[in-house]
Amino acid sequence: MMNRQVIQFSPVRKTFFIALLCMASLFLSQEIKAQAVAKGKKEVSEQPDKKTTKLELTVEGMSCQAGCADGIDHLLSRREGIVKSKTTYATGISSIWYDQSIISEKEIIDLIGKRGFKATVKTTKTKIEDQ
């Protein structure tokens, strides 16, 4: 028969390990909750209504779709008041649907500018009617 040796941890190590597990579980639960809330908001907000305004911008300075155009869309998707956006590198156009009672045209242009691109209005904004 083989003798089994029991490994004992010091109380300090046990406490540290338990605290680490608790912090990890709290962090993960908060992250999951935040993702669920964000997903829920996005699903609700993607339905254009009468308050939604479409804005088309010409965006200068993009060099690719993945890092530049998709990066602009990601930045905009995190901002309250943006319903949806579609930025295309090939055309240099960003189409943005937003609630002008929450965010202004200037704030949107400034957001894109902070990302390092020059955005100018391509067309006049139009209200989205019932579809």
Q: Which one, of 71, 75, 74, lies nearest residue 63 by Cα?
A: 71
C-alpha pair distances (Å), 17 with each of 5, 6, 9 = 21, 18, 10
- 131 residues of the chain, pLDDT tens digit each: 567 777 777 888 878 777 777 676 666 667 666 666 665 554 444 555 568 899 999 999 999 999 999 999 999 999 999 999 999 999 999 999 999 999 999 999 999 999 999 999 986 555 555 44
Q: Which one, of 79, 82, 78, lies nearest residue 48 by Cα?
A: 82
What is the greatest pairwise CA distance in the chain? Answer: 85
pTM: 0.58
Give the pLDDT of residue 76.
95
CATH hierarchy code of domain 47-125: 3.30.70.100
